[in-house]
């Protein structure tokens, strides 16, 4: 059975424990394969929509 060789690895991180584990795994694979490791930071914009809605209600409230 042939071994898979990775040249480029992309890992997304968002500050969670799961993404930390994925990053650790990606680093190990990159070292083992002498591959380039690309990292991207993921932002959950759904949380911004909630904050924005609350902000608009607070700021735009008329007395």
Question: What pLDDT does residue 6 have?
Answer: 95
Residues in the chain, overall count: 63
* CA separation for the pair 38, 30 (Å, rounded): 10
More confidently predicted of 25 and 14: 25
Question: What pLDDT does residue 58 have?
Answer: 63
Rg (CA), the chain: 20
Q: pLDDT tens digits, residue range 24-46?
A: 999 999 999 999 999 999 877 77
pTM: predicted TM-score of the whole model, two decimal places: 0.66
Give the residue extent of every domain in the chain: 8-59
Q: How does residue 3 score in pLDDT terms, banded at 50, 70 and 90? A: confident
């Amino acid at each position: 059975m042939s071994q898979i060789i990775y040249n480029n690895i992309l890992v997304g991180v968002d500050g969670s424990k799961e993404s930390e584990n994925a990053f650790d795994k990606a680093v190990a694979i990159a070292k083992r394969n002498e591959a380039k490791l690309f990292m991207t930071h993921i932002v959950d914009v759904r949380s911004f929509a909630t904050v924005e809605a609350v902000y608009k209600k607070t700021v735009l409230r008329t007395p």
